[in-house]
Amino acid sequence: MKLYHIFFFLFKIIVGIHLTLVFFKFVPDDNISFLINESLFKLCIGSFLGFYFLFSNETGLNYEDRILISIAGFVILYDIDYRKLYTRLREKLS
């Protein structure tokens, strides 16, 4: 197993546990920990998809397919609500 496999496996477990807690209303979905967790997950997945498939030739996919997957990764990065995260962190630290 490569290092990024282990990282994403552990990260998926953490996100799964956190989403379960939010789903069963143990943690509110506007909690700062949920926003940080969601943003980190999107940042990691989006960066991996965006850059790995853009620059890697060992995937065995066509060039057009790699570009499409790469664009999907950058869309995930764009989907992060940076403003909400910034304001919630600023409120928490103030």
The pLDDT tens digits of the residues spanning 24-47 come to 888 787 778 888 888 988 998 999
pTM over 0.85: no
Paired tokens of 69? 């997957």
For residue 83, the model assigns a pLDDT of: 92
Cα gap 43→61, rounded to integer Å: 23
Cα gap 87→2, rounded to integer Å: 36
Structural contact between residues 34 and 27, judged by C-beta atoms closer than 8 angstroms: yes
